[in-house]
Amino acid sequence: MNVAEASTALVWGAATAYAIALVCFTMLLARQADHVAVREKVAVGAGSAGAVSPTTADAGSASDAGVTDDSGAVLASSKAAGIARTTVWAGLALHAGAVVTRGLAAGRAPWANLYEFMLVGSFVAVIVLLAVQRRKVIPFLGTAVVGIVVLFLAVAQVNFFVPADGVQPALQSYWLVIHVGVAVTATGVLTVGFVAAILQLLRSSRDAGSPRFAHRRWGWLENTPVPAALESLSFRLNAIGFVLWTFTLIAGAIWAEHSWGRYWGWDPKEVWTFVIWVVYAGYLHARTTRGWAGRRSAWLVLVAYACVIANFTLVNIFFPGLHSYANV
């Protein structure tokens, strides 16, 4: 097995570890939903003669779900929580090995095409996830982020894989490390901010009494942070991602001047990079100065992240341009 083959094997190993963590996170969510259902049942039947003792019911359910706090986090006291934490770290180690060996096999920074971008971007997303839940396991965040990472790795391997090789002369520059590296990092951070915004919408819908979210399977939402806390988390992550994306836009213009003799040429990739910047700038402006808090700001995050996904899928595949040599 050569270095390139080792990288591929490590990617599948990381995806397997993340899949195990995903199952564990999902189990924790299911147990939290059951815990909420038991509490609601006890509350309804509290006046009945045969009602179950709230203390007994809560204790049994809490034992299964792990100890929770007001933020919806689960302390690593349950078996599922411990396995989830361990396998995410194991997956990250394998993922890091895959990135490093890919770079060694190619003899360059491992983010010069769409396959490598998805590989490294998902790696950054896992790092952000572990940073957010460095003290406590957070099932709702872990399930969504790890699920996206598993999807990215699988799609990258099946649909966008290319053998490790050198790059076109235009990419043989230190700007490949700076410009694309920061773009990858920004995408990873924005991914977690996107997940927080989705959860904000789900939790606010349940709190508003939406019949669609009244079913017991959505009971785990009761153990998530309140919408305001989720909005704050999403805002902080998206603000960091926006700063990184601003640098990406500026660095790309400088690199374009070095490579093609102009800062801006209305290439599809350049246009969509600017579109993403505008949408996230609009989100930050609307939330901080126009009072667009709550669900409206969360929907703006979803629109902005949809632009990110379009930039790295539709634009790469269907819109030929000067950046096309980096898409495969």
Band (pLDDT 50/70/90 cuts) for residue 239 is very high
d(CA 326, CA 328) in angstroms, rounded, equals 6
Q: Is 59 helix (H, G, I), strand (E, B) or coil?
A: helix
Q: What is the DSSP letter of 272?
A: H
Q: Could you identify the residue written with the tokens 């993922």? A: 95
pLDDT at 67: 47
3 state SS for 143-202: HHHHHHHHHHHHHHHHHCCCCCCCCCHHHCCHHHHHHHHHHHHHHHHHHHHHHHHHHHHH
Mean pLDDT of the chain: 82
328 vs 12: which has the higher pLDDT: 12
pLDDT at 58: 42
Average pLDDT over residues 107-135: 89
Poorest-pLDDT segment among 31-40, 172-181, 191-200, 304-313? 31-40
Task: For residue 26, give both structure tokens.
Answer: 């999902």
Which residue from 96, 98, 105, 95 is spatially nearest to 4, judged by alpha carbons?
A: 105
pTM: 0.81
Task: For residue 319, give both structure tokens.
Answer: 């819109």
